[in-house]
Amino acid sequence: MSFTPLGLSSSLLKAVSALGYESPSPIQAQAIPVILSGKDVLAAAQTGTGKTAGFALPILQNLQAGQPARANQVRALILTPTRELAAQVEDNIRGFNQFLKLKTTVVFGGVGINPQMKRLRGGTDVLVATPGRLLDLYQQHAVKFEQLEVLVLDEADRMLDMGFIHDIKRILKVLPKKRQNLLFSATFSPTVTALGESIASNPVKITTARPNTTVAEVQQRLVNVDKSKKVSALTTLIKQQNWRQTLVFSRTKHGANRVATRLTNSGIPSAAIHGNKSQGARTRALSDFKDGKINVLVATDIAARGIDIAQLPIVVNLDLPNTAADYVHRIGRTGRAGATGEAWSLVSADELSQLKDIETLIQKLLPRETLAGFEPSQMLSETRLTAPKRPKKPKKPKGANSESF
């Protein structure tokens, strides 16, 4: 199937072709016609399946038919949880917008607010923003919503995980009631569903994958290694396997810094990316990683949420995440849009509980292996698959302003 039957304009079809897209992904094929029709949408799809194009293309087409944004006004608002994701989404939208005359802008914290205020003075058709910086701009009267036509909550599950619900509620209060609402998420958890149903009107629900499943194109490997030997084992793997572009997950910011330094000192150019880094440092590290100037990017879960790199070949879990769902999100950074990838986890005996949770969630036992020269002093105990735990039935929300989110 091509993009042509979906009802997109010739300008957007030309942009899609120029960007190398040949056929729509399942989420794109289902979401685009519904959004074009003006209906509200709650959509869940695995990471890397093209959710951004799924909402950006029909939004651009619908905006093209309306009146341009006036001073400080916004016509489409896209909220994202992290700076990196905001920048990535806006960059993608600019690609789709290349043959149109719509204005796009991105705003986020960690950088000066004055240049952002200046860009908003002339109005913008599409604004991609993180919640905190958007509220700052609104309080300074730099952004107005009288012309708002559509609201998108992107990565809604992560926004809730990161505690943005109160900021989201404050934003919702200042938006016009009459608007199209689109919520995109990797999962339909009870809290995500409750949020979506509280803001949307008779939404169309779209689900293209079972929740908390891993992409088939990702080969998952588990190396049993002592905790004290993990960084040395990682260094050996990178050199033995000749990995040129590797995303490594660390559970802590301090750990990410330490690992990046040790790898660099071992002759493997690396950088760390996490919330304590300045926005300039984070942007520079991500750019250097994409351009091949560094081979390894060591990231925490929050910072990595917005990393979208075409055909990223290798993801490594240096530490297993605290929650099993984060494992799915982590390894979803590779094997994107049908490409193949490898996800390696270096697991020590003290992480057995996290490993059991992961295997229960994905309903798959990860085969263990060892690395020559790094055989563990304490082997991981064997595990067995058990039925996934049923989530507790959520209490019925009291309304759009309920604190139960």
pLDDT digits (tens, 9 = 90+) for 54-64: 999 999 999 99
- Model confidence over 248-288: pLDDT tens digits? 999 899 999 999 999 999 999 999 998 788 878 888 888 89
- Is the per-residue pLDDT at 391 higher than 60? no
- Is the per-residue pLDDT at 352 higher than 70? yes
Radius of gyration of the chain (CA): 22
Tell me the C-alpha distance between 117 and 315, whole Å. 37
Sign of CA dihedral 171, 64, 124, 81: positive
Q: How many CB atoms lie within 10 A of CB 71?
A: 9
Amino acid at 127: L
Amino acid at 338: G
Report H helices in 242-351. 253-265, 279-291, 301-304, 324-331
pLDDT of residue 397: 40
Beta bridge partners of 43: 184, 206
Confidence label for 398 from pLDDT (cuts 50, 70 and 90): very low
- Is the per-residue pLDDT at 208 higher than 70? yes
Tell me the C-alpha distance between 104 and 94, whole Å. 7
Confidence label for 207 from pLDDT (cuts 50, 70 and 90): confident
Confidence label for 332 from pLDDT (cuts 50, 70 and 90): confident
CB 130 within 8 A of CB 108: yes
Query: 47 versus 374: which is more confidently predicted?
Result: 374
Report H helices in 44-164. 51-64, 83-96, 114-120, 131-139, 156-161
CA distances from 209 to 268, 298, 362 (A): 37, 28, 13
Model-level pTM?
Answer: 0.68
Burial of 220 (0-12, 13-18, 19+ CB in 10 A): buried
What is the average pLDDT across 189-206?
Answer: 88
- Is the per-residue pLDDT at 13 higher than 90? yes
What is the average pLDDT across 111-134?
Answer: 96
- Model confidence over 355-390: pLDDT tens digits? 999 999 888 899 899 999 999 999 999 898 887 665
Q: Percent of the chain, pLDDT > 90?
A: 62
Structure token pair of residue 204: 């169309």
Confidence label for 211 from pLDDT (cuts 50, 70 and 90): low
Structure token pair of residue 145: 């919503």
